[in-house]
Amino acid sequence: MVFFAISAVTIIVPPLIMKFQREKILKSETSNDEKMYKGTKLMLLCMILAIGLYFPPVIRLGILDKVMEPLAEHISSPFLGALIFMGVFITPLLISIMLTILVASKIEVEAKGLNIKTRETVKGILKAFAFLLLPGIVWLGIYLNLPEKIRNSTLASFGVFVIYILSFFALSPYLTRFFGKPRQVPEPLRTELLKFCESLGFKVRDIRVTGKKEYKIANAGVTGILPWARYIFITEYMLETFEPEEIKAVIAHEIGHIKGRHLWINALIAIGWFGFWMGIVFALIKLGVDILSPVVFFGVFFSAYIIYFVVIQGKISLRNEFKADEFAAKVIGKETVIKTLEKLAEVNLTPKKTGKWFGFLSFHPSIEERIRHLEEVAE
């Protein structure tokens, strides 16, 4: 009964706060980009609230053990048991976060004048979460079906985790293709862009268009740590609203990530987190701490996650973005890159100046910081 009460509060309260504050934001006499920024900030705060409402009481009261005990004797498969446990554990929080995102999306819809049905927004949210969760579920299934000798060995478990991370980074282009259903860039622009990549000594399998122009999102990304399975993806809206030279500036930025081995760095960061977390666990065990206590286990897990990914990866990611901008400026010109950054801010309704917290959570500096950095480097 307590579990259902906590779940209900988690599912209902954050989206309701988001809805109430959303109306105030939409009615405010501020620019559309400022409304978008405030909406994003509020959405993140509501997500943090959901985590705070759910995890501490559920873990502290040992509710999950009480919920799972009656089911455990009927479950013979370790994978199925783990799947049910994770389902029970995170489903209320996932529902709350999804509803919060759905409610917040109205700010973007009105600010950009989008003609998107709620059904399409829900579909997009579900696909995004599937992209994030599916690889983890696959890894869990593989790991729990390994021989017990391997699972009981820290070194072997670490090796399995390394293989999983590297496989994810290598196969991520195919996941993007599966969920995004991208198409080829129309000719002659495709040939022009591929020749541009070739002139920079950059191997890419293809450049694809993803997303729908109705969403009015101009963005690009590079995926794949293996040259023969590497793709650059640009959004439909970018293809429609940006000039070829501006698209080249964006692609040059993505190539800068590859030249700087930033995808490999991200993979090593993910691998390093496992070692960081296990190091804390072993240190606590030596100090006589009961690591199997739900409060200790999840407390260590989330603390390690926040310290490692938000703080450490946040700083590294910001540095990598600056380096990728520097590379783009060298190959296509500082003024073109700055003009493209300004246009990205304009079409995406992103304020040029955002708080430090926004940079850490989005792993990108503000447009203002990126432009200032380019000007300082050039000087």
Query: Using CA atoms, how far apart are residues 37 and 49, in angstroms rounded to an integer?
Result: 18
When computed from its CA atoms, the radius of gyration of the chain, rounded to whole angstroms, is 23
Alpha helices by DSSP H, listed for the chain, are 2-27, 32-60, 63-72, 78-112, 118-144, 148-151, 154-180, 189-199, 236-241, 244-259, 262-286, 294-305, 314-332, 334-347, 356-362, 367-378
CATH number for the domain formed by residue range(s) 180-242: 3.30.2010.10
Angle at 330 between CA 328 and CA 336, to 5 degrees: 60
Query: Using CA atoms, how far apart are residues 42 and 65, in angstroms rounded to an integer?
Result: 33
Q: Supply the pTM of this predicted model.
A: 0.83
Q: Which residue has the tokens 């021989």?
A: 147
CB atoms within 10 A of CB 352: 15
Query: Using CA atoms, how far apart are residues 44 and 32, in angstroms rounded to an integer?
Result: 18
Query: Using CA atoms, how far apart are residues 265 and 236, in angstroms rounded to an integer?
Result: 29
- Tell me which DSSP letter residue 150 carries: H
Among the listed ranges 17-31, 78-92, 93-107, 171-185, which one has the minimum average pLDDT value?
Answer: 78-92
- Segment 136-187, tens digit of pLDDT: 777 777 777 777 777 777 788 788 888 888 888 888 888 888 777 788 999 9
* pLDDT for the residue 357: 64
- Segment 109-119, tens digit of pLDDT: 888 888 888 88
* pLDDT for the residue 295: 63
- Segment 277-329, tens digit of pLDDT: 777 777 777 777 666 666 666 677 777 777 776 777 778 888 999 999 999 99
- Asked whether residue 360 carries a pLDDT value surpassing 70, the answer given is no
Is 82 within 8 Å of 138 (Cβ atoms)?
A: no
What per-residue string of b and e applies to 280-303 under the rule 16 or more CB within 10 Å gives b?
bbeeeeeeeeeeeeeeeebebeee
Query: Using CA atoms, how far apart are residues 127 and 131, in angstroms rounded to an integer?
Result: 6
- Asked whether residue 359 carries a pLDDT value surpassing 80, the answer given is no
